[in-house]
Amino acid sequence: MLAVYKRELRAYFTSSTGFIFMGFFLLLAGFFFAMTNIFRASPNYNAVLGEITFIFLIVVPVLTMRLMPDDKRQRTDQLLLTSPLSLSGIVLGKYFAAVTVFVLTLLITCLYPIIMSFFGNIAVWEIMGGYVGFLLLGSAFISIGLFVSSLTDNQVISAVTTFTALLFMWILDWVVQGLPTDRVSGIIFAAILAVAAGAFVYFNTKNIYVGIATTLVGAAIIVAAYFFADTYFFDGIIVRVFEWFSLLKRYEEFQLGVLSLGPIVYYITFSAAFVFLTVRVLESKRWS
């Protein structure tokens, strides 16, 4: 993993990718810092972090679009896949390299609250909580970009698809407001999830019987939940599932400077899940 990490980190700064990411991020962060804290004389620095979360829609596709497709372009993909390195080590090396570039950029922005401290007292612990949440949120978005980049050999397609996926995550809270909450829709949605789980297992195992068995188990769980669980179990289940995937909603606590274990575990688990999915995609490519 360490060899891949060093190679990817070096690649960010021997090409323009890392500098474009850092330059654009710092430009927007500096602009919002000036407009919010300097011109308005506001001591609330976490407001800046909350306002610039939209920046992930633009900079994360730039940061992650080359992670997997670049190996294909340089014809090193087969060398990596057939090397003694574990697939998890390859993926983690690439992921941590991208996160490191993000962390380095974030550290530079720490100069902003330091500048504010020269003109008055600042809420240090509140700002630190905001930074922790911002780091976890960015790392979760990077994991999505990493996964998307493993699905295609084209950097442009990777960037556009990542932007689309992150945009969906961004507007998810608004989408939830228009979702149906009736019981029939909930049951249909649960059935779709069961079929999707069966398809996912099939594409990873190439065993149709295991895929069908997974779908049948899901169907059995749905039937059992309908007859034996709470009568209202399926009411609003679509909304509950989509709300569970809301990354921005969990960031609200960090913006207030509150460090809660639940959101921290959620962000780490979310990132780990997409890293795992990326490993599974590479696994399928290794044997294809």
Cβ(85)–Cβ(76) below 8 Å: no
Other Cβ atoms less than 10 A from the Cβ of 78: the count is 12
What integer is the mean pLDDT of 266-283? 90
- Percent share of the chain, pLDDT over 90: 22
d(CA 99, CA 142): 7
Q: Which of 58-62, 88-92, 268-272, 281-285 has the lowest mean pLDDT?
A: 281-285
pLDDT for residue 82 is more than 80: no
b/e map 148-180, b = 16+ CB within 10 Å? bbbebeebeebbebbbebbeebbebeeebeebe
| pLDDT reported for residue 72 | 65
Residue spans per domain, the chain: 2-174+261-286, 183-235
Give residue 231's pLDDT: 60
Alpha-carbon gap, residue 236 to 251, rounded angstroms = 23
For residue 97, pLDDT over 90 is answered with yes
pLDDT beyond 90 at 145: yes
Give the E-state strand segments of the chain in sequence order.
none
| Residue 266: predicted pLDDT | 92
pLDDT for res 132: 92
Query: What's the confidence (pLDDT) of residue 80?
Result: 62
Identify the pLDDT of residue 8.
85
* DSSP-based three-state secondary structure for 44: coil
pTM of the model: 0.86
| Cβ contact 87:283 at 8 Å | yes
Give 170-228 pLDDT, tens digit per residue.
888 788 888 888 888 888 888 998 898 888 777 767 778 888 888 998 888 888 887 77
pLDDT of residue 76: 61
Q: What is the pLDDT of residue 74?
A: 63
What is the per-residue pLDDT for 264? 93
Q: Which is nearest to 95 in space by CA: 157, 8, 16?
A: 8
Q: What is the DSSP code (8-state) at residue 178? A: T
Cite the DSSP H helix spans in 110-154.
111-117, 124-149
Give the tens place of pLDDT for each residue, 231-243. Answer: 677 888 888 888 8
Question: What integer best gives the mean pLDDT of the chain?
Answer: 85
Confidence at residue 107, expressed as pLDDT on a 0 to 100 scale: 94
Tell whether the model's pLDDT for residue 287 goes beyond 60: no
What is the token pair recorded at 67? Answer: 């992670």
Per-residue pLDDT, 119: 79
Other CB atoms closer than 10 Å to residue 86's CB: what's the count? Answer: 11
